[in-house]
Structure 1
């Protein structure tokens, strides 16, 4: 990331003023430039068959077709008189057989104190150009083959799906959304370009609360400038916006689960698309054993209803040699415990769908997946053979449910131990992914996730949103309510 300051703007102030007065906003134009070497990335000549509406017959052409398809979606949603420039490349990013960095994108240049912008406020270049009406870096020299004046820089993992790099799970390059077990590149790129356009608080170090210095020299405890984002970020615990906070308060707010709301008028109005909060309600014969817990339905298997019986809850025991709870086919003891019941299984060690399928094979009628860290989550994945409902609950809820199952046992008989029964429910007074005033929540897990915390919508939102930290399987390409809240937020910051 590079930064620009007002000392670079001297030559463009007059032109910018004319642009603001003389032109109305036009549909945006996105220009994609490849920085790949011959034979790599967009230039990969490997023959492939057309897939899902992508007519390219080489791997490189299919990749470029997805870029153009996604750029066209963004162009139809944005207005700017200045071309939006993207430097795109395919690189060997960090990966193992079971995990991988898919890619990233971000604003490559940042500006403050330009014509039309809020004084003393950082903006990503594409948005700054749109507001100023000119290309703010257009007067700066650039060597042939460089990309230092671009608005957005992207990079994606060229090895994804190959042996040693998330084996067998490459990018799906179709345009129809039928990615199956592959990684949907359309959604991934749509998401990442959203960050590059400004869906990020890139000028605050969320680990310290420090702001980026006005001269672009780094993050410091004093002297930094706020991001255009900060006036819309309101912490319900402190009852302050990030503009009003100290470094320490911003640091704490970034790890304050379900308490950081977005107050921009467009996104708040659009948040009426979010559904009421789904819950699981339990009944136990033990004192204090009954409860009500928020849940997030899994993205695979049958839909979780808003009401009706879930079943009797059960605990399962750890099995020798397994990577995590429920990751191996259930042994005899766990099959007996899960048969006809709903096991509570902790996250970790393997994919959520594997845990649910193993429980299903053991005769379970449903599964509650408990987080292994603080905060909510949505169990993702795909498996068309899963036929039982499942959902995620928080770590605290999982611990409480497991304890309640144990506590209920003595309240039965020797032949029929006491049990905890669970039903589905809904809290119509609370909107999922929003605070009590209906303002959408930003992602602030209790453990800081650098690059993800604060710069995404919270994972409790239902339906799932494009700019959550995970690319969920139920996303589409519509960026506005009642499907999504991406464009309303971008409009709040000036698009």
Structure 2
């Protein structure tokens, strides 16, 4: 039996809250100092079923509810100890790491291990072994949450919603959903094997071993699993956009009850420019109508509203020339400067049928368009920088009809949104690699949105981790839970 630590524990005084359930027991170790985080004594008004009277008490009440949620669906075994703190995590005025969590240690070749010579996260290893492998000396999971959220330099104006009812108002982020996501990582929703280098975790003697995940990570381009790849091949697979899928039986079986049939797609047609014709990957918008089998068809009209004659940001109401171009057509605009909702609304006001937003940074696959505006009534999607350049090369700011470049925006009913043709759910593999996000999440194309995508979406159900609402528990079952 071999154990390897993955994280360094903080030497902090701690209090423990135990949440028992019909199956697993989870112990929350509050390691915050006095007056901070879970010990914050700032008075708070009860909200959304959370009857706590201080900020710290309300935060802990949410954690207890999340622990109870997980405890009900996990098998009986040794208590799962989770160390919890509020700390200054990475953030800027427009973005923030909301939280992080992961296994404190990994284990292999323990009693009842399903596969020999294979790393398992501590909580899962203990459950499979039927005993606390480190004899209760350490927690199995460390979780941290951003104590500065909402400050001027940390996603300004945002805050955590501490209700238990899933009704987070605009401008607040549901802490229960964030917390459920992070505990999912700690329980084993993490690849363990490095995505940036492809390297496996080595033991104290320097011998590297695979993780349980590798057996169920299949690259459609390479035609093999991570278990059968070299380090270099795994690193290449980790940046193969929408090319890496999960083959576990539980996820694949329950996927049709969770994801929607129909992958969003842009098909470009042109007799004059056959080189640009074909299917384009898109990131759909979270606002406006969703793409459907009733495809939007129209000529692509490129907006140019900058003095340099190059960029079309559509951040202001379209000029008479641009409005005449996009009316009754599909507008092609550029990402940057203003929100996606503003761009799409300006094109809509000018009579556009739909909007394509060309990215301004390299990489792929194209992420979705975030935002909310109930007045947007036309669909919109994002395409990659390279695909945007390809289209703009032939689309000059003149009468679009002369170019005969047509768009068909709809869904491919042969695929589930977020799965490949074989019904295997895609893992998140953007290029370039995104540390902390790549590989150990589902792809953002998944619809419905899934708990373990790399960003928290506002439409996620609270305290739901399994089919037909989600697929997190199904993946955990695939790895041995």
Q: TM-score, normalised by structure 1?
A: 0.83
Residue 489 in 1 paired to residue 475 in 2? Answer: yes
Residue 159 in 1 paired to residue 148 in 2? Answer: yes
Matches of 2:294 and 2:285, distance apart in 1: 16
Equivalent residues in 2 for 1:26-425, closer than 5 Å: 27-117=23-113, 118-138=115-135, 140=137, 149-179=138-168, 180-202=170-192, 204-215=193-204, 223-273=207-257, 274=259, 275-284=261-270, 286-288=272-274, 291-309=278-296, 311-317=298-304, 319=306, 326=313, 328-330=315-317, 332=319, 334-335=322-323, 337-339=325-327, 341-360=329-348, 364-371=352-359, 372=361, 373-403=363-393, 405-406=395-396, 412=401, 420-425=405-410
Q: CA RMSD in A?
A: 2.8
Contact 2:299 2:329 in 1 (8 A): yes
Aligned to 2:466: 480
Deviation, structure 1 residue 139: 5.3
Instruction: List alignment gaps of at least 5 residues for structure 2.
Output: 6-20
The 1:330–1:237 alpha-carbon spacing in structure 2 relative to 1, beyond 3 Å, is same
Matches of 1:36 and 1:248, distance apart in 2: 41
Matches of 2:456 and 2:86, distance apart in 1: 19
Query: Which shows bigger deviation, 379-388 or 121-130?
Result: 379-388
Q: Deviations over 1:346-383 (max 9, x none)?
A: 33445433433444455544322334332132222333
Matches of 2:136 and 2:62, distance apart in 1: 31
Contact 1:278 1:306 in 2 (8 A): no
Instruction: List alignment gaps of at least 5 residues for structure 1.
Output: 7-24, 141-148
Equivalent residues in 2 for 1:15-30, closer than 5 Å: 27-30=23-26
Q: Deviations over 1:215-258 (max 9, x none)?
A: 2x8xxxx7211111111111222222111111111111111122
The number of residues matched between the two structures is 454
The 1:285–1:256 alpha-carbon spacing in structure 2 relative to 1, beyond 3 Å, is closer
Contact 2:226 2:234 in 1 (8 A): yes
Matches of 1:294 and 1:133, distance apart in 2: 46
SS at 1:4's partner residue?
A: strand
